[in-house]
Structure 1
């Protein structure tokens, strides 16, 4: 009984931290959606332009997605594999909180830099007040999550994951058993990257379509650019969050596959950073803001592609050298 007490306390602390992170995520998402979807509110927002908007846009999509997954997993909290589930869910909550925190940091940067000071209205004051409250909630959630750390290296011993829990919960639905049986789960594990790419492309298509309709875009190149930027950033998010939170525990992969996935991550991150800081970088080089769509596409996607190719080359050369030393 005494040995079970620390585990019991850690379990309670994990649930409390996860709930706090969900509360902070809700507090972040509500004003974010209001600001981005209401033109009057958005016009008064200090962070309506890049580089602030690029980071905010990614967090606006990723935070509710992670929050929904976390809430669904809480329904199977007491199923077998509770220790793995607790650690993975805390990590997912930490990822969600970190994303919200990064977006909040960019919002504070916009406020402190005096961005769009001449256009500020009463809505601006309300947005900043919400920013203060959300920042406090996010910081508190981060502190609680930091106290729920598991021993170093415990992630390598995971035997349960979110995919297994989803298959378990689906047994209570009318879905055919062949769709949720061990063979189907194993197939998803083998093709996890395909699933991440497909889900990212689907979400990116929705975002790009909504952007095209909302802003009445008529340039197909610009719409395609929106889609590629969203898709690459979401693929990077899926791979990173899966590595952190273990959504799908995957079989071992070869060096080429690992290098390709690392390239997707670095390329996606480089692309979103190039989008965010394109005008800042050009100003530092003495050039003006991007004035044409082809220049925008070439600059941002070119940076992402270049970083991805460089990552692939470096990792393949490094792993080849390591293999030669091991066999030499």
Structure 2
């Protein structure tokens, strides 16, 4: 067990080092206007993925690093497994972003690679090389010994463990507060996503001198829904908060909502291509942009809900039946035991 803990810790540290190198280059290429102007992946759809990773990767890196403070606390097997899964999510985001950036490089003519563009491509090569060992280590350690449904410890429990050792925070780390967060995990995700989106949108609006309230509101919704999908999906994978049993209707509604949130981000990334198919002319109107992207999200949510309701019909126990699944929105087909 101790040997497995050391291996898991090493894998986590390699993933954190990879994320740090990735974030350093990403901040440079997105926050410096001169560098951004030369970036091969400054335009959509590449920029949507870069923008998402720019904020989600450091968030994951921070919570992973903080969890190392409780690494030797009780529940080590669950902690190591969940932390490696979180590191896997973080590394996957890094890998997907690097893939988008490589596509952007391939799509451009080599003659345009000069100055800062050459520096960014060199950094892309370095990040790609650093990501490979992290991916290989995570794949090698992907199997968890024992049942995947025997989870007893989550990240919230570790927060309580650490807070109870800090006199100032000890009063807040009681059972009632923990139960409140577990019962209202979706509310917590929505609030956190909205606050993060407000900060990002505010900074963008100030930096770009936006004055159109509709444009600002649209971006707030796009960023908030993207963050919300990230929170729910990453929680389903890494088990940040073990959620209590939920009804079938609630679980389907959450799954449909996440599908709609993802669809908004996808529609935003490929808005010009979608508009060329569905609209006429060039997409320059903010109302048309909002209708296209948010409409795609709403339509996807409705379709996803209909498909899930059809695929997972009501069981014999009636509408009040609850499903216990700490991982999030996973649904099992009737009659299966796996």
TM-score range (shorter-chain normalised) is over 0.9
Aligned to 2:304: 311
**1:279 corresponds to 2:279:** no
Q: Paired residue for 2:32, among 38, 46, 61?
A: 38
CA contact (8 A) 2:46 2:269 kept: yes
Gaps of 5+ in 1: 1-6
Q: Paired residue for 1:83, among 77, 96, 99?
A: 77
Residue 217 (structure 1) shift? 0.6
**1:216 corresponds to 2:212:** no
CA distance in 2: counterparts of 1:47 and 1:253, whole angstroms? 42
Q: Paired residue for 2:61, among 58, 62, 67?
A: 67
CA distance in 2: counterparts of 1:202 and 1:39, whole angstroms? 25
1:1-328 aligned at under 5 Å gives the runs 7-114=1-108, 120-151=113-144, 154-175=147-168, 177-283=170-276, 287-323=280-316
CA contact (8 A) 1:196 1:238 kept: yes
CA distance in 2: counterparts of 1:321 and 1:257, whole angstroms? 13
- Residue range with higher mean Cα deviation, 236-245 or 173-182: 173-182
Gaps of 5+ in 2: 319-333
CA RMSD of aligned residues (A): 2.0
Instruction: After superposition, give the CA deviation of every residue in 1:241-265 in whole Å (9 maximum; x if it has no partner).
Output: 0010000011111112101210221
SS at match of 1:142: helix
Residue 317 (structure 1) shift? 3.6
CA distance in 2: counterparts of 1:159 and 1:227, whole angstroms? 36
Pairs aligned (count) = 320
Instruction: After superposition, give the CA deviation of every residue in 1:19-50 in whole Å (9 maximum; x if it has no partner).
Output: 11101101110011111110000000000010
SS at match of 1:36: helix
CA contact (8 A) 1:236 1:268 kept: yes
Instruction: After superposition, give the CA deviation of every residue in 1:87-131 in whole Å (9 maximum; x if it has no partner).
Output: 00000000000011111110000000007x675431111100000
CA distance in 2: counterparts of 1:65 and 1:168, whole angstroms? 21
Larger helix percent: 1
- Residue range with higher mean Cα deviation, 197-206 or 249-258: 249-258
SS at match of 1:320: coil
Instruction: After superposition, give the CA deviation of every residue in 1:293-314 in whole Å (9 maximum; x if it has no partner).
Output: 0111000110011101221222
CA distance in 2: counterparts of 1:297 and 1:284, whole angstroms? 16
CA contact (8 A) 2:53 2:94 kept: yes
- Residue range with higher mean Cα deviation, 121-130 or 89-98: 121-130
CA distance in 1: counterparts of 2:208 and 2:148, whole angstroms? 44
What TM-score, normalized by structure 1, do the two folds share?
0.92
Instruction: After superposition, give the CA deviation of every residue in 1:8-28 in whole Å (9 maximum; x if it has no partner).
Output: 332222111111110110111
- Residue range with higher mean Cα deviation, 172-181 or 237-246: 172-181
After superposition, the Cα gap between the structure-2 partners of 1:255 and 1:86, relative to the gap in structure 1 and judged at 3 Å, is same
CA distance in 1: counterparts of 2:313 and 2:146, whole angstroms? 26
CA distance in 2: counterparts of 1:73 and 1:310, whole angstroms? 38
